[in-house]
Amino acid sequence: MALFLIIASLFFLWIISLCKIFLLPRAPFTKHFTLNGRALRKRNVLLVIAHPDDESMFFTPTINFLTARGHNVQILCLSNGDADGKGNVRKQELFQACASLKVPMQQVKVVNHPDLQDGFGKVWNHSLLAKMIEEEIISHCIDMIITFDNYGVSGHCNHRDVHYGVCSKLLHDTSRRDIEVWELVSNNILRKYSGPIDIWLSMFWTMLPSSVTMQCLVNEHSRRSLIAMAQHKSQWVWFRKLFVILSSYTYMNTLRKIK
């Protein structure tokens, strides 16, 4: 009986939270991207990820937010995810996933460099990462970068190296200091798998006065995120399906401004 009550209340909370997420996008909840009267300015945003599918598993609320407002989104994927020898297939899957997120293939670049190969324990050269990101910044007049934080959501070393490539290399070495940089905040495992329910905590944290540099973006098209993930056919196995449904990153992203 007690177990039934717990399950019933969790289910109820899940539904209430989903409703909150569907209603929230219309609320004025975007303090930073619209700050200083720059709301009307279209940004050239570069999303830097490590593997094909990072965009669909972790960043869809952010991508949907930006494309819905007409910002130009470029995606730089620093490996083709060749850990199982499926690099070419995964690259095509990434293009399809991005297309369903309204980012056409011409705005997606996949790097396949011998020193940047997908895998646990493969250390990526931060200077090389910074160099490649810098090239993208120049060729697309990028004025905002979004990437992983220093834990990289799942703790994957490639995600973390991408963060360091941007934050400790690029930001220190580059002469271009006019770029805004945001990182995706990694949550503890309980919050990570609480699906839409995490909206209450995310809202609470980003509304604290000490969180002036944080912003919670809710997913305005959760269904689109599922469709995007399903384009990664070689990865679309039961535990990833479960991940996408249970993951709070499907429903919202908390971003922290680091520059």
Ligand X SMILES: *[C@@H]1O[C@H](CO)[C@@H](O)[C@H](O)[C@H]1NC(C)=O
Binding residues for ligand X (CB under 6 A) = 125, 127-128, 131
Q: Which is nearer to ligand X, 84 or 173 (CB)?
A: 173
Q: Which is nearer to Zn ion, 51 or 163 (CB)?
A: 51
d(CA 115, CA 232): 24
Q: How far is the CB of 233 from ligand X (least distance, A)?
A: 34
- 192 binds, options Zn ion, ligand X, none, Cβ within 5 to 8 A by partner type: none
Q: Which is nearer to ligand X, 127 or 139 (CB)?
A: 127
Q: Which is nearer to ligand X, 126 or 159 (CB)?
A: 126
d(CA 198, CA 251): 9
Q: Which is nearer to ligand X, 86 or 109 (CB)?
A: 109
Q: How far is the CB of 249 from Zn ion (least distance, A)?
A: 12
Within 10 angstroms of residue 4's Cβ, the number of other Cβ atoms is 8
Q: How far is the CB of 164 from ligand X (least distance, A)?
A: 13
Show the site string, 181-220: x = touches Zn ion by CB under 5 A, - = not.
Answer: ----------------------------------------
Q: How far is the CB of 111 from ligand X (least distance, A)?
A: 13
Of 36-65, which residues contact Zn ion (CB under 5 A)? 50-51, 54
Q: How far is the CB of 170 from ligand X (least distance, A)?
A: 12
Q: Which is nearer to Zn ion, 50 or 66 (CB)?
A: 50
Q: How far is the CB of 223 from ligand X (least distance, A)?
A: 41
Binding to Zn ion by residue 169, rule CB under 5 A? Answer: no
Q: Which is nearer to Zn ion, 72 or 250 (CB)?
A: 250
Closest to 29 measured CA to CA, from 202, 250, 245, 233 = 202
Which single residue brings its beta carbon nearest to Zn ion? Answer: 51
- 128 binds, options ligand X, Zn ion, none, Cβ within 5 to 8 A by partner type: ligand X
Binding to Zn ion by residue 160, rule CB under 5 A? Answer: no
Adjacency order of strands within the sheet including 108-110: 108-110, 72-77, 44-49, 144-148, 180-184, 252-257, 214-218
Q: Is 130:165 a contact under the CB 8 Å cutoff?
A: yes
182 is written with which tokens?
A: 């945001």
Residues in contact with Zn ion by CB under 5 A are: 50-51, 54
